[in-house]
């Protein structure tokens, strides 16, 4: 089992054993798919059998059962997806564009005033966007209580997602140890994590409801939900509980993954100044220098769109995706895939396939352009960057739109380069992006 770079190390195993690998982890079967073809054959064409999630001791103990992305495949998960789709879909994206624009332009001001705090600004920007859309709440700064609460949820999720971090995942029987027992520190961690988790999910939802009661609520997923049930639809306690979970999932999953992609954007621009110059040339020709880009400019900015596509490919946020689980025994290429097995797709390897993406380590938006127009037939990174089959990310269009407006806006105002040392000389920049993330 790889320990450092899951994508790269699994790719080396695939070179030796093929693009469908079986590992035995203390009696638990794990199947690693190393090609887009294998992933499509199983995850897409047989999605009913490959859309479940594996069980996790720490997910259960820490109270992450509300997170849609981790729910078992079934009626409750489908209800979550349908609810999310009511509020985030191609038709509703127009409603959120003014929010995205306002937050992005606020980010530009923060970057201008305090450029040394770039990472804080980026986290706050996407946190503020999704908080406003999900709950109608405004996040003022990094010390904001709402921001701190969800940051803590993301920290806990990051800990739980690290393979091998908690021995109880490999030996589930350890969950029955008393918390005072030597080596059972994971249970004390879980108790505190669950307390914080429940408080955050409830508090954010209650804060949105309180704003509605005061009459100063801003349009959001939560306000629209209550507008719908007030007219007689789904007036049940279950519906409200489910909306609470969907709103929390929207924030945690949306803000964290988009932030990771934008951090990689700044790295790419520093590493590839010629790409930055080409993007700025297009922006100057289309937008000019007297205003900032708008969503209405998108059709006239194919290079920026191609840059976003290349960003999704060059820096996959989840190198081995989110694990799936096989429901029942299956056969593929003459091999048995046992029911209950955990399935991973090596998304990193797919994004680095030289047959599809020549010179894959290079950041090159031109690979998605033909005759000056966006052309992604058969090569669209969105086909693997956002998951597979029935578990594909339902917010992928919103995510791409957010990346587009941020990249276009930043490049219209700033030039991005390597940091300087005390003597004013550029410091060498290296691609050291995280590689072992498993769950958004």
Please report, in range form, the residues annotated as the binding site for heme. Answer: 393
Exposed / middle / buried, residue 327 (Cβ in 10 Å: 0-12, 13-18, 19+): middle
Radius of gyration of the chain (CA): 22
DSSP reduced 3-state for 92: coil
Find all residues with CB under 8 Å of 263, minimum gap 6, and list them. Answer: 119, 122, 433
DSSP reduced 3-state for 331: strand
CA 230 to chain centre: 32
State whether the Cα torsion 220-224-227-230 is positive or negative: negative
DSSP reduced 3-state for 398: helix
Q: Which residues pair with 388 in a beta bridge?
A: none
Ordered alpha helix ranges (H), 272-333: 273-286, 302-314
Q: Which residues are annotated as a binding site?
A: 393
Between helix 118-135 and helix 396-413 the angle, nearest 10°, is 140
Exposed / middle / buried, residue 11 (Cβ in 10 Å: 0-12, 13-18, 19+): buried
Q: Longest Cα pair distance anywhere in the chain, in angstroms?
A: 68
């Amino acid at each position: 089992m790889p320990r450092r770079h899951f994508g790269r190390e699994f790719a080396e195993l695939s070179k030796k054993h093929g693009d469908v690998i079986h590992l035995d982890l203390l009696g638990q079967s794990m199947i690693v798919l190393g090609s887009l073809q294998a992933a499509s054959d199983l995850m897409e064409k047989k999605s009913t059998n490959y859309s479940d999630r594996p069980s996790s001791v720490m997910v259960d103990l820490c109270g992450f059962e509300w997170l849609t992305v981790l729910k078992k495949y079934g009626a409750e998960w489908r209800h979550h997806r349908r609810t999310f789709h009511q509020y985030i879909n191609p038709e509703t994206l127009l409603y959120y564009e003014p929010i995205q624009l306002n937050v992005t332009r606020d980010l530009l001001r923060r970057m201008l005033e305090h450029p040394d705090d770039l990472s804080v600004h980026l986290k706050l920007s996407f946190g503020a966007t999704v908080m406003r859309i999900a709950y109608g709440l405004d996040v003022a700064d990094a010390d904001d209580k709402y921001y701190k609460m969800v940051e803590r949820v993301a920290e806990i999720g990051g800990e739980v997602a690290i393979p091998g971090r908690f021995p109880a995942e490999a030996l589930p029987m350890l969950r029955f140890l008393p918390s005072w027992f030597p080596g059972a520190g994971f249970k004390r961690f879980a108790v505190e994590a669950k307390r914080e988790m429940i408080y955050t999910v409830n508090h954010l939802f209650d804060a949105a409801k309180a704003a509605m009661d005061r009459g100063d609520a801003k349009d959001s997923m939560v306000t629209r939900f209550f507008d719908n049930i007030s007219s007689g639809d789904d007036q049940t306690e279950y519906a409200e509980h489910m909306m609470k979970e969907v709103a929390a999932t929207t924030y945690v999953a949306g803000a964290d993954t988009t932030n990771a992609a934008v951090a990689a954007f700044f790295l790419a621009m520093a590493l590839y100044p010629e790409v930055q110059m080409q993007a700025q040339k297009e922006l100057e020709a289309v937008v000019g220098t007297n205003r900032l880009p708008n969503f209405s400019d998108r059709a006239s900015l194919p290079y920026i769109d191609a840059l976003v596509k290349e960003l999704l490919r060059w820096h996959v946020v989840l190198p081995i995706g989110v694990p799936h689980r096989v429901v029942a025994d299956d056969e593929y290429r003459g091999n048995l895939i046992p029911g209950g097995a955990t399935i991973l797709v090596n998304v990193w390897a797919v994004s680095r396939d030289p047959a599809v993406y020549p010179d894959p380590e290079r950041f090159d938006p031109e690979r998605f352009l033909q005759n000056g127009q966006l052309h992604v037939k058969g090569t669209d990174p969105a086909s693997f960057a956002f998951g597979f089959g029935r578990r594909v990310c339902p917010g992928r269009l919103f995510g791409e739109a957010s990346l587009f407006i941020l990249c276009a806006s930043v490049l219209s105002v700033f030039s991005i380069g390597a940091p300087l040392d005390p003597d004013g000389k550029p410091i060498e920049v290296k691609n050291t992006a995280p590689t072992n993330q498993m769950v958004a």
